[in-house]
Structure 1
C-alpha cells in the first residue's frame, strides 16, 4: 500500500499544524472560504510578499510519495515489512494546481489527469491564517497559565497538609508533656507522703535513742562523781603522805648538813693548829683548802636552808632577797623528789614517755598542740604521783637545751614552741610551774637572777665553777665559750616562757614576773660578760612583749642599760669581750625591741585561734 504526501511551498510559520494531511488542508480551506464570504474581515497588516500576485517568485510544488512493498522471502521463516521511500517527480504550479493521482496495487499511474488542488491565495486568506495562528497561541498560553495555577494550588495544598501534620505533631507532643508533668506531680506527691512517713519513723527512733542516751549519761555521771570523790580522797592521802615524807627528809638533810659543817669547821681548826709553825706557803695552801671547804659547806646550806645569807666565805652573792627566798622555796620543793627517780623501774616508763613526747616537739602549731595534749595526759596519770611526774616533766623540758643545738638558727623558734607547751601544760597542771622554775634556777643562776662572784683567785676553783653552772665533759669542765652558749640558751628559753600569751589562758609566771626579773637584774647583778650575754638574750626574746605592754617604763629600763650597764662593761677594758658590748649597743641603736622576734607571731596567732 502506498500513499502520497503533498506539501505547500510556503513558510511553515503560517501553518498552525505542519503535520496536516492533504484532506485536512482542503477541508480547512473550504471552511476559510465560507467564513470569508460570510463576513469579510478587515485587514490587520500588509500582505506578505509571497502572497502578492505579480512580484511573487514562482516556486515549484513538491510531491513526495512513500511506497511500501511487501516482499516475501522464501528462504526465511519470518515476514518483514520493508518500506521504501520513492521520491516523486518535481513540477511547478503557477496557479497552485496539482496533478491528480490515483492509487493502484503496486504501480503509480503517471499518465493520470491533473486536477485543481488549491485556489489562488488572496489577502483575506492570509489574514485568516494569521488570526488562526494567534488564536492557537492564545489557547496554548491559556492552557499553560491554567496548568501553572493548578500547580500552584497543588503546592499550596501540599504546604497546608504539611502544616496540618506539624500542628498535629505539636499537639501530640504538648499532650505528652502535660501527661509527663502530671506524672511528675503525682510522683512528687508520693515522695512527699513517703518522706513524711519516714521522718515520723526517724523522729520516733531519735526520741527513743535520746531517752536511752540520757539514762546512760545519768548513770555515767553518777559513776564519775563516785570515782572523782574516791580519787580526791586518795590524792589527799598521797599528798599528806608526801608532805610528811618531805618534812622528814628536809629535817634529816638539815641535820646532816649541820653535822657536816660542824665537822668541817673542827677539822679546819685542828689543821690550823697543827700547821701553825709551818712555812707561809704551807699556811697559804692550808688556808685555801679551808676556804674552799667552807664555801662548799655554806653553798650547800644556802640551797637547803630557809635562812638567806648574802655572802659566803670567798664568794659574794649578788641577788635580791626576795629572789633568793623564792629560789630556796622552789629548790626545797624540787628536792623532795630524788634526782635519780627515773632509774626506778616503776617510773622509768613515764620518764621515757615524757622524754619521747618532748623530743618530737617542732616549732609548728600541730606539733605544739599534740605535744601539749600528750604531756597533760601523762601528768594527769593515776599511776604516777603528781610531784614525780612534774619533776620528770621539768627535767626533760629544760634538758632540751642539751639535746638540741643552741647555736642553730632554728633554736629561737623552738624556744617559742617550748614556751607555748609550758604555758599550756602549767595551765592544766599548775604545780608543774614551780618545778620548771626550780629546774631553771638549778641549771642557770641568772634565771633567779643571781650571780656568784669569787673574791680571790683561790676561790675560783672547780667547785666554784660547778656552782655557777659549768658542766663536765669527759671528766673536765667545759670551756667558757660553751658555758656562755648554754647561759644564752637557758635565758632564751626562760624569756620565751615568760612572754608567751594565749587569749583566755592565765599565765602563772608571765610578763609581770619578767618585768620584776629585769628590774632585779639591773639593780643587783654586776656588769660582766656573762651577765651581758644573759641580758641581751632576755631582751632579744621578751623585749618586744615588754615594750608593747609597759611602753615608756620599758624605755626607762633601756636608758638605764645605756647609761650605766654598758659604760660599766666598757670600763673593764680587755676583760670584756667586744661581742657582749656590741650586742647590747646594736639592740638599742637598731631598736630591735620594736620588731617581733622570729617565730613568735605565727605560732602565737595560730594558737590564739585554736584555743579561743
Structure 2
C-alpha cells in the first residue's frame, strides 16, 4: 500500500511564512530557505529565541547519502497531531497570517508494509522522528514553539481583555449607579423647586390680583368723582347757558319791542305827516275856492299863492320819504363814512408829502386778498402775510388799513369770491387793528346801501339816473348806467361778504352776530319790499342765518315769520314776474328750515380736502 498524502488544515501562512513550500525544491534550496527564515525570524522577533543561531547551517550535501540533488524534499505531518493545532490556532493564524510562501506536504508515506491499512500502523511520531533529519526537526520545533508562543500571547491578550472588560463593566455599573442616584437627587430637587416656584407664583398672582382690585377700586372712585364733577359742571354750564339764553331772549325781546315801538313811532310820525299834508292840501283847496269869488287878479294871485304854498308843504313830506332806514343805522353809517373820509385825506396828504413808494404795499395787499381760497392753509398763509404788512413793514397803518378796506370791497366783484374765507381773514386782522373794520364797513356802505340797511324812494328823485346812482348803480366808460341784473349780482356779492363777516363766531370779532341781528331787525322794520331789498335779504340770511339761529333761536324764528307773513306777501301783491325767483328762494329757505344746515363754504377745506376745519 502506498503512502498517504496529508493536507494540513491549518492556515496557509503564519507571520508571512507559507506552510506549503514548492515540492520541487532540492535539499540545498530548502537549507537556504531555512537559513533565510531563521534570519528573518531573528530580525523580526522582539524577544531572542532560545534556538536562534548566529551562523547558518552547514548541512552535508545530499549527494553523500546517495540521493540525487534534484529529488524533491517531502515533509510529512500526521493528521492526528495537527487536529488540536488547527482547532486552537485556526482563528489566530487566519488573523496573523501574512503574505509569504506556503509549504506543501505532499506525498507523505507512512509505511510500505502490507499492514498499512491498520490504524496502529500509523504511529506518526516515532516514525517521523526516525525518518526526519535535523532541518525537518528544527522546522517542526520552530512551528511548535511558534504555536506555543502564539497561544500564550492569545491567552495573555484574552486575559487582559477579560480584565479590561470586567474593569469597564464595573466602571459602567458604577457610573450607572451614580447617574441613577444623581437623577433621583435631581428629580427630588426639581420637585422641591417646582413646589417653591408654584408657591411664589401663587403669592405673586395673589398680590397682583389684590393690586389690580385696589387700582380698580381707586379708578372707579376717581371715575365716580369725575362723573359727579362733570355732572355738576354740566349742570352749572346748562344753568349758565339757560341764564344767558334767557338774557339774550329778554334782550332780543327788548330789541324787538324797541324796534316795534320805533316802527309804531315811525308809522305814527308818517301818519302825522300824512295828516298834516292832507290838512295843508285841504287848507290850500279851501283858500283857492275862496279866491274864486274875488276878481281875476286876486284869483290869479291866490292861485299862485296856493300853488306856492302847496309846493312848500309837499316838499317836506317828499324829503321825509326819500330815505327809508333806522335812525341808529344812519348814525352809524355817517360815523363810519366820516372816519373813511378823514383817513382818506390823511393818506392823500401822506402820499403827497412823502417820497416813499406806497403803491407796492397796496399792490401786495390786493394780490394777497385775490389769492385767498377756501382752504385752511391758504387762509392761514394770507392772514400771516397781511399781518406782516400791517405790523412789520414801513407802510403806515392808516395806509394799509385803507388799502385793505378798498381792496376787500373791490374784490367782491370777482366771480367765485370765497366770502367765508375772506371774512375769516378780515376778522383775524381787524382783531389786531379794530379801526380797520369801520373802514371796511364804510366801503361796503358806499358800494351797497343795503349793508346799512337803507333804501331810497324813487319818487324823491327827478330822474331815473339820479335814482339809480343813489341806489349804487355804476356807470361804464361811456357814461351808461349798468343793467339791473349786473347791479343785483354785485349787490348779492356785497351782502354775502357782509353776512359772512357778521356770522363769524370769533370772540375778537368787533362786528359779530349782535350787529347781524340788529341789521335784520332794522331791515324788517324799515325797508320796503321790492326786488332790490329781496335780493339783499336772501343773500344775507343764506350766509348768516345758520349762526343767527344757533344764537337767538326763537327770536330769529319770529323774525323769519315776519318776513314770511309781511315781506313775502308784499312782494307777491306786486304781481311782478321778475320777483318770483327770489320769492321762491326766501320762502323755501324758511319752510325747508335751511337755517338748520351749515352753509357751504363755512368750514374751510384742508389741503387734501379730507379734513375740515371750522373757522
1:600 and 1:3, CA in 2 relative to 1: closer, same or farther beyond 3 A?
same
Number of matched pairs: 366
Q: Secondary structure at the match of 2:77?
A: strand
| 1:572 corresponds to | 574
1:81 and 1:483, CA in 2 relative to 1: closer, same or farther beyond 3 A?
closer
1:155 and 1:19, CA in 2 relative to 1: closer, same or farther beyond 3 A?
closer
Asked if structure 1 preserves the Cα contact closer than 8 Å seen for 2:75 and 2:106, the reply is: no
Asked if structure 2 preserves the Cα contact closer than 8 Å seen for 1:417 and 1:603, the reply is: no
| 1:522 corresponds to | 524
Structure 1: state its 5+ residue gaps.
22-79, 109-136, 160-290, 292-297, 299-308
| 2:108 corresponds to | 88
- Between the aligned partners of 1:87 and 1:398, the Cα distance in structure 2 is 149
| 2:335 corresponds to | 329
| 1:533 corresponds to | 535
- Between the aligned partners of 1:377 and 1:81, the Cα distance in structure 2 is 122
Query: Deviation string for 1:63-119 (max 9, x for gaps)?
Result: xxxxxxxxxxxxxxxxx99965423248544358425133456999xxxxxxxxxxx
- Between the aligned partners of 1:20 and 1:419, the Cα distance in structure 2 is 120
- Between the aligned partners of 2:85 and 2:106, the Cα distance in structure 1 is 27
Greater per-residue strand proportion: 1
* Superposition deviation, residue 386 in structure 1: 3.9
- Between the aligned partners of 1:470 and 1:588, the Cα distance in structure 2 is 30
| 2:500 corresponds to 1:490 | no
Asked if structure 1 preserves the Cα contact closer than 8 Å seen for 2:76 and 2:105, the reply is: no
| 2:235 corresponds to | none
- Between the aligned partners of 1:12 and 1:479, the Cα distance in structure 2 is 150
For residues 42-191 of structure 1, the aligned pairs below 5 Å read: 85-89=105-109, 92-95=117-120, 97-98=122-123, 100-101=127-128, 102-103=130-131, 145-150=162-167
Question: Structure with the greater relative contact order (CA < 8 A, sep ≥ 6): 1 or 2?
Answer: 2
Asked if structure 2 preserves the Cα contact closer than 8 Å seen for 1:569 and 1:576, the reply is: no
1:143 and 1:561, CA in 2 relative to 1: closer, same or farther beyond 3 A?
same
* Superposition deviation, residue 158 in structure 1: 13
- Between the aligned partners of 1:355 and 1:420, the Cα distance in structure 2 is 16
Q: Secondary structure at the match of 1:472?
A: coil
Asked if structure 1 preserves the Cα contact closer than 8 Å seen for 2:374 and 2:604, the reply is: no
| 1:471 corresponds to | 474
Asked if structure 2 preserves the Cα contact closer than 8 Å seen for 1:12 and 1:18, the reply is: no
Residue of structure 1 aligned with 2:446, choices 442, 445, 461: 442
- Between the aligned partners of 1:538 and 1:10, the Cα distance in structure 2 is 141
Q: Secondary structure at the match of 2:342?
A: coil
Asked if structure 2 preserves the Cα contact closer than 8 Å seen for 1:401 and 1:490, the reply is: yes
1:328 and 1:575, CA in 2 relative to 1: closer, same or farther beyond 3 A?
farther
| 2:146 corresponds to | none
Query: Deviation string for 1:420-451 (max 9, x for gaps)?
Result: 22112222112111111100100111100011
TM-score, normalized by length of structure 2? 0.51
For residues 291-370 of structure 1, the aligned pairs below 5 Å read: 312=319, 316-338=322-344, 341=348, 346=356, 347-370=358-381
Residue of structure 2 aligned with 1:371, choices 378, 382, 392: 382
1:454 and 1:94, CA in 2 relative to 1: closer, same or farther beyond 3 A?
same
Asked if structure 1 preserves the Cα contact closer than 8 Å seen for 2:76 and 2:106, the reply is: no
Residue of structure 1 aligned with 2:429, choices 422, 425, 429: 425
Structure 2: state its 5+ residue gaps.
1-29, 31-73, 94-99, 111-115, 137-153, 177-310
| 1:43 corresponds to | none
Asked if structure 2 preserves the Cα contact closer than 8 Å seen for 1:337 and 1:387, the reply is: yes
Q: Secondary structure at the match of 2:412?
A: helix
TM-score, normalized by length of structure 1? 0.51
1:399 and 1:158, CA in 2 relative to 1: closer, same or farther beyond 3 A?
farther
* Superposition deviation, residue 600 in structure 1: 2.3
CA RMSD of aligned residues (A): 4.5
1:359 and 1:492, CA in 2 relative to 1: closer, same or farther beyond 3 A?
same
